[in-house]
Amino acid sequence: MPEQARPILAHDLARSLGGVYQGPEGLVLSGVATLEEASKEDLSFLTNAKYIGLAKESKTGCLLIAPEHRDTFEGPKIVVQTPYLALARAVRLFYPGQESEAGVSSLAFVHPKAWVAPSASVGPFCVIEEGARVLERARLVAQVFVGRNVIVGKACLIYPHVSLLDGTILGDRVIVQAGCVVGSDGFGFAFDPDSKAYEKIPQVGHVEVGPDAELGACTTIDRAFMGRTLIGEGTKVDNLVQVGHNVQIGKHCILVSQVGISGSTKIGDHVTLAGQVGVVGHIRIEEGVVVGAGSGVHGDLKAHRTYWGFPAVEYKRALVRHGALERLPELRKRVFSLKQRLEALERRLEEGGCGHSEDPG
Amino acid sequence: MPEQARPILAHDLARSLGGVYQGPEGLVLSGVATLEEASKEDLSFLTNAKYIGLAKESKTGCLLIAPEHRDTFEGPKIVVQTPYLALARAVRLFYPGQESEAGVSSLAFVHPKAWVAPSASVGPFCVIEEGARVLERARLVAQVFVGRNVIVGKACLIYPHVSLLDGTILGDRVIVQAGCVVGSDGFGFAFDPDSKAYEKIPQVGHVEVGPDAELGACTTIDRAFMGRTLIGEGTKVDNLVQVGHNVQIGKHCILVSQVGISGSTKIGDHVTLAGQVGVVGHIRIEEGVVVGAGSGVHGDLKAHRTYWGFPAVEYKRALVRHGALERLPELRKRVFSLKQRLEALERRLEEGGCGHSEDPG
Amino acid sequence: MPEQARPILAHDLARSLGGVYQGPEGLVLSGVATLEEASKEDLSFLTNAKYIGLAKESKTGCLLIAPEHRDTFEGPKIVVQTPYLALARAVRLFYPGQESEAGVSSLAFVHPKAWVAPSASVGPFCVIEEGARVLERARLVAQVFVGRNVIVGKACLIYPHVSLLDGTILGDRVIVQAGCVVGSDGFGFAFDPDSKAYEKIPQVGHVEVGPDAELGACTTIDRAFMGRTLIGEGTKVDNLVQVGHNVQIGKHCILVSQVGISGSTKIGDHVTLAGQVGVVGHIRIEEGVVVGAGSGVHGDLKAHRTYWGFPAVEYKRALVRHGALERLPELRKRVFSLKQRLEALERRLEEGGCGHSEDPG
C-alpha cells in the first residue's frame, strides 16, 4: 500500500536526472521497481555489474544504467553517471509525497512562551514547552515532545512519539524517525564508598544535531554531562542505536542499526559503523574508517582503514586470524601427530645407540 | 500485583484442557504457580523430567503432567499430552483478563475519513489518520499512532506509544507491545561523489504483518523501499529487535530480543533466532533453522540445521572450534616444548656425527 | 544550551561538600567544566592521577582534588576524599534545576478511580488508568502512560513517552528516561505440535522497581509470567537494555547500554554488566561480578570476579585465550616449520643408516 506514483515521460525524467535517454519517443513511465518485479510501465535500475544478466531478462520499460554498461542492455534506457543516486532522485519524482497543511492542531499543547513558525505543521497531542522554537516548514507529525528551549530547524520532519528533550538543537532538514529519544540523561554515576550506592551526576549539557542528519526509530542520543553531544551534518543513524554522552560524531557518517557508542568517543567524518558494532568510551575513530558488522572496538582506529572482529583489528589481519581459527582443529591434530613422530625419533635414537648417551631432556 | 485469578474445579479444568484428572472429587484450584511457589490451592506444572524431584517436594494442589511421567507424582494431577501447552491454556482460564469497553475515547483524534468498527476500543490520545481502518474488536490502549491507510486487523491489541506508520497492514489478532515502531523508513542512502554527502532514497513501500503475530516493545520494523516488508503469520518477535527494509520473515518464527536483520534477507518458516543474533542483508535462511544467542550470520543457512558463533557455523563445528580455542594456550605450550625437543635431537645428531654432514636446513 | 548555573562562593562550596578550601578569600565560581574547557570562573575536577599534567595546564579557577594529590596542584583547590562524588554534588549545587509546578494538566486523562497526590505534577497528554496511584512530589513530564493499579513512588521523575503498564510498582525517587517500557509481556509461548503454531502463555505477573533506581531511554522490562520481575534498589539501567520476565536484579547494579538478560536469571548486588553484554536465561550471577563489554554469558558466574569474552570466561583466562588467538597465525607457521625440520631429521636418519631400519611411521 505505497503511495500512488505519478506518471512521467521518460524523456523528461532523463533531463531531470541529468542523463541521456535512448528509446522510443513518448514513452511514459508510471513507477519504479526492481529488475525482477518491474513491468513494461516501470523504471528499473542497474547499480551493480553482476545483475547485467537479470537486466536482460527483466520486463522493465526503461533502465537507469551507467555509461560503462550501456551496451549490455538493448531496451529503452537512461544513461547516468551514478545510477543509484539517479534512482534516489527518480523515486522522489515519482512519489512526491503528500503535503501536510501548515498550522498547529487544536489538540496540541504549545506553551505561551514557545514559538512555532506559521509555515510549520504541528499534529495532534504534540507538546511544545517553554522557550522552544519550531522553524519554518518543520513538520511534527503527532504526539511529539519538544522540551524547553529546543530548536527544531527549518523543514525538519519529526515522526510520532519522538522526544526532543530540553535544550536539543536540530539543524535544518533533520529527519527523526518514530520513537527516537534525543537528550536523555547521560549515564553518569559516582560510587559512594560509605553508602555503597551510586549517586547520580546531573547531566546539564545538551545534544546538537547538524543539518541533513537522520536519526532512526527508537534510537537514543544522550545529552552531554557538560557541553554538547554532537551528531554531524549529513550523518545518518539507523534504528536502535545508542550514542553516549559527550560523543562527537563527524559529518556524513553511517551508523547502522543497533550500534552502541560509549561516552566521550570522537568519530571523524565519513566513518561507517556496520550493524551491532560496539565502541568503548574515550577513544578516537579517525575519518573514513569502516568497521564490519558485530565488531567490538576497544581502541583508537586509524583513518581510511577497515576493521573487523571482536576485538576489532585491521580487516586483513582479522581474516588471517579468522582463517587460522577455522583451521585450528586441524592444527591440533597436526601437532599431536608431530609429537608422536618426534617421540618415535627420540626412541629410535635412544635404542639405536646413535650419538652420545646424554639424556635428550 | 497480577490480576485476581478466578477459582476453577480441577475436574472442569481437566475437561477444558482435554486431559484426565486423577484426584479427589470437588477439588477447587484458585490459581497457577511454579513448583517452588505453589500452595495447596494452586495448579502447578511439570514440563521437564529434570524437575520430577522438585514436583515431589512441591506443596501444589494439582499437577499438569505428561503421560510418561504420571507415575512419578502421587498427588492430584491432570494428565495431558503437552503440559506446557496445557499450561498456556490453563493460565488463560484462571486469568480471563478484563474486558475493555468498546468505543472511541472522546480524547482520541480520529480523522473524518478514517473508520473505526463500533466494537473496537480506542483509548485517550490515540491518533487515527486519513484512510485508516480499525477492524472489529481491535483495541488501541492509549496514545497509539495509526497512520494514513493503515489497517488494524480484527481483535488486534495495540499497547501505548506504538507507531503504525502510513500503509501498515496488521492481520487479525496481532499483538503489538508498547513503544514498537512499524513502518519507519528503511535505511537507504545513495552516496553523491560530488558533494561527498548521502542522499536519501525515499522509502515508498510498506509493512505487512500476518495474523496472530506478536511484535515486542521498542522493536522497529522498517517499511520496504518498494513493495513490502513481511512478518509472517504466527511469528513472535521479542523486544528491541530490528527488521530492515524488504526483509521477508516466514510463518511461526521466533526472534528473541535484540536480534537485528539487515535489508532484503529472506527467512523461512519455523526459524528461531536467539537473543542478539545479527544477520547481514540479502541472504536466505531456510526453514527450521535455529541460530544460537549472540551469533553473527554472514551467509545463507541450510534448512533444519543449528548454527552458532561469530561468524555462525554449524553447531557441531562451532563446538569443535570453540573447544580448540579454549585449549589454544595449552597447544602453544606443547608446540614450544616440541620445538625444544626437536632442537635437542638436531643438536645431538649434529654433535654425534651420526649420518651425513649436510646442513639440516 | 544547558541550564544557567548559579554562582557560588568557593568557601561555601567546600563546606557543602565536606571538603577543605585552599585559595583566596571571596573567590566566586560560576559553573563546572572539564580541565580542558574550564575558565577562571569554573570549578574543575581531578579524578584520576593520569590527568595531573592536564590539571597543571588548566585555566580552572578552582580544582576538586583528593588529599593524596593536593600537592601536585598549586592553584585554588577544594580537597575532598572522593572528588568524583564531590563533583556529582557540586553539579547539583550549581544547577539546581527548574521546579515544576504541582498539579494535573487539564490536558491529561486521570481515571476517576486513580489517585494523584496534590504535590505531584502530571503533564499534558498523560494517561492514568483505574486504580493507579501517583505519590507525593512525583513528576510525569508529559505523554506518560500509567496503567491499572500502577504505583508511582514519591518524587519519581518520569520522562515523556514512558509506558508503565498494569501493575507496575516504582519505589520512591525512581527516574525513568523517555521511551522506556516497564511491564511489557514476557516472551512466553508454547509450541502446539498439532497446529505447528505457538500459543501465547499469558503473562500475569508484574514489575517492581526498587527506590532510587534509574531506567534508561527505550529500555524494556518485561512483566513476570507469574510473580514479579525485580530491579533492585539503587540499580542503574542504561538505554536500550532488555530485561526478560522473572529476572531478579539485586541492589546497586550497573547495566550499561544494550545489555540483554533472558528470563528468570538472578543477579546479585553490586554487579556491573558493560555494554552489549548478553546473558542467557535461568542462570545466577553472584554479587560483585563484573562482565566486560560485548561478552556472552552462558553459565553461572562466581562472586567478585571479572569475566570477559564470547562466551565469557574469567578475565585472566580470557586475556590468555585472546593473546593466543592473536598469535595463532604465527603458531601455524611455527608448526609448519617444525614439521619440515622433523621430516628432514627423519630422512637423515633413514638415509644415514643410523640406528635400526624400521619404518619411522
Of A85-94, B115-124, B126-135, least confident by mean pLDDT is A85-94
Smallest Cα distance from A227 to chain C, Å? 7
Q: What is the CATH number of the domain that holds C75?
A: 3.40.1390.10
| Cα end-to-end span (Å), chain C | 79
CB pairs under 8 A between B and C: 216
Amino acid at A89: R
Per-residue pLDDT for B354 more than 70? no
Q: Residues of B with CB below 8 A from C276's CB?
A: 276
| Residue A346 within a domain | no
CB contact under 8 A, A240 and B260: yes
Q: What residue has cell string 488486534?
A: B156
User: Pick from C185, C190, C228: which is nearest to C210 by CA?
Assistant: C228
What's A301's DSSP letter? B
Question: Which of A94, A128, A145 lies at the terminal end of a domain, its last residue?
Answer: A94
Domain that includes residue B116, residue range: 103-317
CB contact under 8 A, B320 and A329: yes
Between positions 43 and 72 of C, the ones with CB within 8 A of A are: none
Element (H, E) at C343: helix C328-352
Nearest residue, CB atoms, B356 vs list C148, C205, C348:
C348
Rounded distance between C-alpha atoms, residue C7 and residue C17, angstroms? 15
Smallest Cα distance from B68 to chain A, Å? 41
DSSP H helical ranges for B63-122:
83-94
Partner A contacted by C32 (CB < 8 A): yes
Q: Residues of B with CB below 8 A from C335's CB?
A: 335
| Residue C180 within a domain | yes
CB contact under 8 A, A328 and C326: no
Q: How far is CA C283 from the centre of its chain?
A: 20
How high is the pLDDT of residue C349? 80
CA dihedral C251, C256, C262, C263 (to 10 degrees): 30
Q: Which residue of chain B is at minimal alpha-carbon distance from A107?
A: B109
Rounded distance between C-alpha atoms, residue C145 and residue C139, angstroms? 13
Amino acid at B67: P
Element (H, E) at B44: strand B42-45
Find chains touching chain B: ≥3 CB pairs under 8 Å. Answer: A, C
Per-residue pLDDT for B62 more than 90? yes
* Helix (DSSP H) and strand (DSSP E) numbers for chain A: 5, 40
What's chain A's length in residues? 361
Smallest Cα distance from B88 to chain C, Å? 4
Q: Are residues B266 and B290 in the same domain?
A: yes
Q: Are residues A37 and A114 in the same domain?
A: no
Q: Which residue of chain B is at minimal alpha-carbon distance from C348?
A: B355
Between positions 232 and 251 of B, the ones with CB within 8 A of C are: 234, 236, 238-240
Q: Residues of C with CB below 8 A from A145's CB?
A: 141-143, 160-161, 178
Q: Residues of A with CB below 8 A from C124's CB?
A: 109, 127
pLDDT tens column, B257-313: 999 999 999 999 999 999 999 999 999 999 999 999 999 999 999 999 999 999 999
Rounded distance between C-alpha atoms, residue C235 and residue C265, angstroms? 16
Q: pLDDT band for C357, please (50, 70, 90 cuts).
A: very low
Catalytic residue among C161, C206, C245, C270: C245
- Per the annotation, the verdict on A322 as an active-site residue is no
Per-residue pLDDT for B235 more than 90? yes
Say if residue B358 is exposed, middle or buried (CB neighbours under 10 Å; 0-12, 13-18, 19+): exposed
- Residue C146 main-chain phi, psi, to 5 deg: -125, 110
Question: Which of C61, C94, C127 lies at the terminal end of a domain, its last residue?
Answer: C94
Catalogue the E-assigned strands of B173-251.
Answer: 175-176, 181-184, 189-192, 197-200, 206-209, 214-215, 220-222, 228-231, 236-237, 242-243, 248-249
Tell me the CA distances in angstroms from A219 to A180, B253, C217, C261, C318, one per residue in order.
5, 25, 9, 20, 32
> What is B292-341 written as a DSSP string?
-TT-EE-S-B-TT-EEETTTTEEHHHHHHHHHHHHTHHHHHHHHHHHHHH
CB contact under 8 A, A346 and B345: yes
Partner B contacted by A36 (CB < 8 A): no
Q: Cβ distance C257 to C238 under 8 Å? A: yes
Q: Are residues A33 and A125 in the same domain?
A: no
Q: Cβ distance B243 to B184 under 8 Å? A: no
How high is the pLDDT of residue C115? 98
Between positions 273 and 332 of B, the ones with CB within 8 A of A are: 276, 278, 280, 296, 298, 310-311, 320-321, 324-325, 327-328, 331
Per-residue pLDDT for C72 more than 50? yes
Rounded distance between C-alpha atoms, residue A106 and residue A90, angstroms? 37
How high is the pLDDT of residue C5? 84
**Neighbour tally for A168: CB within 10 Å:** 27
Total domains in the fold of chain B: 2
Residue range C317-326: average pLDDT? Answer: 91
Nearest residue, CB atoms, A328 vs list C82, C328, C342:
C328
Q: Which residue of chain A is at minimal alpha-carbon distance from B203?
A: A91
Q: Which residue of chain B is at minimal alpha-carbon distance from A258?
A: B260
Low-confidence ranges of chain A (pLDDT < 70): 1-3, 352-361
Most distant pair of Cα atoms in chain B: their distance: 104
Rounded distance between C-alpha atoms, residue B195 and residue A4, angstroms? 31
What's A210's DSSP letter? -
Helix, strand or coil, per DSSP, at residue A11: helix
C-alpha cell at B328: 589454544
Nearest residue, CB atoms, B217 vs list C169, C220, C340:
C220
Rounded distance between C-alpha atoms, residue A216 and residue C228, angstroms? 32
For chain B, the average pLDDT equals 93
Catalytic residue among A69, A245, A298, A304: A245
| Residue B322 within a domain | no
| Residue C65 within a domain | yes
Q: What is the CATH number of the domain that holds A238?
A: 2.160.10.10
Q: Are residues C220 and C141 in the same domain?
A: yes
Per-residue pLDDT for B101 more than 90? no
Q: Residues of A with CB below 8 A from C276's CB?
A: 260, 276, 278, 296
Q: Are residues B147 and B46 in the same domain?
A: no
Catalytic residue among B69, B161, B206, B245: B245
Tell me the CA distances in angstroms from B44 to B24, B51, B55, B66, B92, one per residue in order.
16, 12, 9, 13, 14
Partner C contacted by B339 (CB < 8 A): yes
Rounded distance between C-alpha atoms, residue B295 and residue C353, angstroms? 56
Find chains touching chain A: ≥3 CB pairs under 8 Å. Answer: B, C
CB contact under 8 A, B175 and C200: yes
Q: Are residues B245 and B162 in the same domain?
A: yes
| Residue A322 within a domain | no
CB contact under 8 A, C236 and A189: yes
Helix, strand or coil, per DSSP, at residue B198: strand
Q: Which residue of chain C is at minimal alpha-carbon distance from B163?
A: C161
How high is the pLDDT of residue C352? 65
Amino acid at B149: N
Nearest residue, CB atoms, A328 vs list B163, B206, B325:
B325
Tell me the CA distances in angstroms from A340 to A330, A336, A360, B280, C245, one per residue in order.
16, 6, 16, 44, 53
Smallest Cα distance from C359 to chain A, Å? 10
CB contact under 8 A, A293 and B280: yes
Per-residue pLDDT for B97 more than 90? no
**Neighbour tally for C6: CB within 10 Å:** 11
Q: Residues of B with CB below 8 A from A179's CB?
A: 161, 163, 179, 181, 218, 220
How high is the pLDDT of residue B1? 37
CB contact under 8 A, A218 and B310: no
Nearest residue, CB atoms, A185 vs list C177, C240, C332:
C177
- Contact partners, residue A333, CB within 8 Å, separation at least 6: none
Q: Are residues C90 and C109 in the same domain?
A: no
Partner B contacted by C201 (CB < 8 A): yes
pLDDT tens column, C100-142: 789 999 999 999 999 999 999 999 999 999 999 999 999 999 9
Q: Are residues B15 and B130 in the same domain?
A: no
Q: Cβ distance C142 to C122 under 8 Å? A: no
Q: B96: which strand partners?
A: none
Find chains touching chain C: ≥3 CB pairs under 8 Å. Answer: A, B
| Residue A144 within a domain | yes
Long-range contacts of B355-360 (CB under 8 A, 24+ apart): B355/C348, B355/C349, B355/C351, B355/C352, B355/C353, B355/C354, B356/C348, B356/C351, B356/C352, B360/C341, B360/C344, B360/C345, B360/C348
Q: Are residues B175 and B208 in the same domain?
A: yes
Q: Cβ distance C206 to C224 under 8 Å? A: yes
Q: Which is higher by pLDDT, B356 or A13?
A: A13
pLDDT tens column, B10-33: 999 999 999 999 999 999 999 898
- Contact partners, residue B104, CB within 8 Å, separation at least 6: B110, B116, B120, B121, B122
How high is the pLDDT of residue C3? 60
Q: Are residues C173 and C222 in the same domain?
A: yes
| Residue A153 within a domain | yes
pLDDT tens column, A142-191: 999 999 999 999 999 999 999 999 999 999 999 999 999 999 999 999 99
How high is the pLDDT of residue B271? 98
Q: Cβ distance C252 to A197 under 8 Å? A: yes
Helix, strand or coil, per DSSP, at residue C91: helix
Q: B8: which strand partners?
A: B29
C-alpha cell at C322: 585472546
Q: Which residue of chain C is at minimal alpha-carbon distance from A276?
A: C276
Nearest residue, CB atoms, B338 vs list A326, A328, A339:
A339
Residue range B328-343: average pLDDT? Answer: 90
How high is the pLDDT of residue B357? 37
Q: Cβ distance B221 to B243 under 8 Å? A: yes
Partner C contacted by A349 (CB < 8 A): yes
Partner A contacted by C179 (CB < 8 A): yes
Q: Which is higher by pLDDT, C347 or C21?
A: C21
Helix, strand or coil, per DSSP, at residue C330: helix
Q: Are residues A59 and A200 in the same domain?
A: no
Q: Residues of C with CB below 8 A from A222's CB?
A: 217, 239
Partner C contacted by A348 (CB < 8 A): yes
Question: Which of C32, C61, C94 lies at the terminal end of a domain, its last residue?
Answer: C94
Q: Are residues A123 and A249 in the same domain?
A: yes
Q: Cβ distance C2 to A246 under 8 Å? A: no
Partner C contacted by B139 (CB < 8 A): no
Per-residue pLDDT for B3 more than 70? no
Smallest Cα distance from C49 to chain A, Å? 16
| Residue C333 within a domain | no
Nearest residue, CB atoms, A335 vs list C160, C258, C335:
C335
pLDDT tens column, B173-214: 999 999 999 999 999 999 999 999 999 999 999 999 999 999
Amino acid at C284: R
Smallest Cα distance from A194 to chain B, Å? 34
- Contact partners, residue B275, CB within 8 Å, separation at least 6: B238, B256, B257, B258, B259, B293, B294, C242, C260, C262, C278, C280
Tell me the CA distances in angstroms from C28 to C6, C10, C62, C73, one per residue in order.
10, 6, 10, 19
